[in-house]
């Protein structure tokens, strides 16, 4: 396909595809799917080889969130029956992180529900970051605490944080349809604050919320413009008790096309398969490793993931290798200081989006509620985590 040849050439040069090309990837047929995966795989291997970075989530504070994000089981008024607890102490969080690190994780992601941290919350998380860093040489720590106020990103950086995550989730045009208690611009502002503080910015999306192909391309182009070092791609987990519980809009093939499009638009960044891969990719997860160079190990914030042992076996069986703590994740031009995760590169190079054409609506996948299980182990419980 001429389209795929063009996209590979552009990906190897870090050149932005046109919107029409990105939309065309999402519109490819199932007959062409393996060709699409193979093409995007060339770009992935050029920048990241066959390495897979493992990340591990620690939910520092679960539930009790005042925000109304429709996709989230921790939202205001949630009836999902998830674990609810207030802040873990630094030693508790450090023990939880140690389980993931023992399983091969290179980065620990410290997440807390809520609109954003108070200054006291930043102090708590700073103590946790220091505890984890003191006990685990070479570990990367990413904080995900919601919207940041002035000066908070700098304080997290001083405490030893390497990165900050704050996802855009969906296109600016449709953001108000999923959340009303804060704005898309609020999220963009927090990513800018992370950049300005010298943190490695992590920002991604959620697919499967009923969005159009145009919405997906919009948010990925916006992410390219923000220039984060890592882009997590979440596939909506339709948890019963949330407004989007009936949104089963994804198939494994659709997920692979989305990941391929993200790789073509963001060729040299860490593309991470995040929440929902077990639910929507299912037995086709190994193919996704040809597109993404990073995954979460084990469970998620409020739902269970695939067993950590199965993750490691999948990586090995697919012919990939787990990235070690001594290996630099990002290409040299994105990590000028040689750091493990790379700080924000200032060269930009984001290009300008063109005019979009229409594309077919997403195919509807079969509901698999049997694959959605609320997390009952790990952080906030007395049970061993899945790592």
* Active-site option among 272, 277, 334, 375: 272
> Rounded to an integer, what distance in angstroms lies between the CA atom of residue 195 and that of residue 232?
17
Catalytic residue among 144, 202, 266, 341: 202
How far is 318 from 253, CA to CA, in rounded Å? 18
> Which candidate in 19, 44, 51, 69 is catalytic?
69
272 belongs to the catalytic site: yes
Beta carbons of 249 and 221 less than 8 angstroms apart:
no
**Angle 252-265/2-12 helices, nearest 10 degrees?**
50
Annotated catalytic residue, options 51, 124, 142, 341: 142
Output Rg (C-alpha) for the chain, integer angstroms: 19
- Cα separation, 385 vs 36, in Å, equals 36
Marked catalytic residue, from 107, 109, 157, 254: 109
Of 19, 72, 124, 187, which one is the catalytic site residue? 72
Active site residue 255: no
Q: Is 266 an active-site residue? A: no
CA–CA dist 224, 226 (Å, integer): 5
- Provide φ and ψ at 198, rounded to 5°: 85, 10
Q: CA-CA distance, 360 to 212, in Å (whole number)?
A: 8
Identified catalytic residue from 65, 144, 255, 341: 65
The contacts of residue 334 (CB under 8 Å, 6+ apart) are 229, 268, 269, 342, 345
Contact 294, 52 (CB under 8 A): yes
Phi, psi (rounded to 5 degrees) for 359:
-145, 160
Residue 142: active-site member? yes
Q: How far apart are the first and last CA of the chain?
A: 41
Place of tokens 């990513």: 191
Catalytic residue at 202?
A: yes
Q: Which residues are the active-site residues?
A: 65, 69, 72, 109, 142, 202, 272
């Amino acid at each position: 396909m001429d389209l795929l040849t063009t996209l590979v050439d552009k990906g190897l040069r870090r050149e932005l595809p046109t919107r029409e090309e990105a939309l065309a990837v999402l519109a490819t047929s199932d007959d062409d799917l393996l060709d699409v995966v193979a093409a995007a795989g060339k770009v992935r291997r050029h920048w990241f080889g066959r390495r897979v970075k493992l990340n591990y989530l620690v939910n520092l504070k679960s539930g009790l969130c005042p925000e109304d994000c429709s996709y989230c089981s921790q939202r205001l008024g949630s009836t999902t029956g998830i674990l609810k607890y207030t802040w873990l102490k630094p030693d508790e969080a450090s023990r939880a992180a140690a389980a993931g690190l023992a399983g091969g994780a290179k980065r620990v992601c410290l997440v807390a529900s809520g609109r954003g941290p108070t200054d006291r919350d930043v102090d708590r998380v700073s103590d946790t970051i220091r505890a984890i860093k003191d006990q685990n040489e070479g570990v990367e720590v990413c904080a995900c605490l919601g919207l940041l106020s002035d000066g908070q990103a700098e304080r997290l950086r001083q405490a030893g944080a390497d990165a900050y995550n704050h996802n855009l989730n969906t296109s600016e045009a449709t953001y108000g349809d999923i959340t009303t208690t804060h704005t898309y611009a609020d999220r963009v502002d927090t990513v800018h604050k992370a950049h300005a503080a010298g943190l490695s910015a992590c920002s991604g999306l959620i697919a499967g919320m009923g969005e159009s192909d145009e919405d997906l391309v919009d948010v990925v182009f916006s992410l390219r413009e923000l220039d984060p070092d890592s882009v997590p791609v979440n596939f909506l987990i339709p948890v019963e008790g949330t407004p989007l519980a009936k949104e089963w809009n994804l198939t494994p093939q659709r997920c692979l096309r989305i990941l391929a499009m993200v790789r073509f638009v963001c060729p040299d960044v860490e593309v991470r398969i995040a929440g929902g891969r077990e639910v929507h990719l299912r037995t086709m997860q190994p193919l996704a490793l040809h597109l993404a160079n990073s995954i979460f190990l084990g469970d998620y914030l409020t739902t269970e993931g695939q067993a950590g042992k199965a993750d490691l076996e999948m990586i090995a069986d697919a012919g990939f290798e787990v990235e070690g703590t001594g290996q630099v994740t990002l290409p040299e031009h994105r990590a000028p200081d040689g750091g493990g995760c790379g700080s924000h590169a200032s060269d930009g190079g984001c290009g300008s989006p063109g005019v979009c054409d229409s594309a077919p609506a997403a195919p509807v996948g079969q509901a698999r509620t049997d694959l959605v299980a609320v997390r009952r182990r790990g952080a906030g419980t007395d049970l061993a985590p899945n790592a």
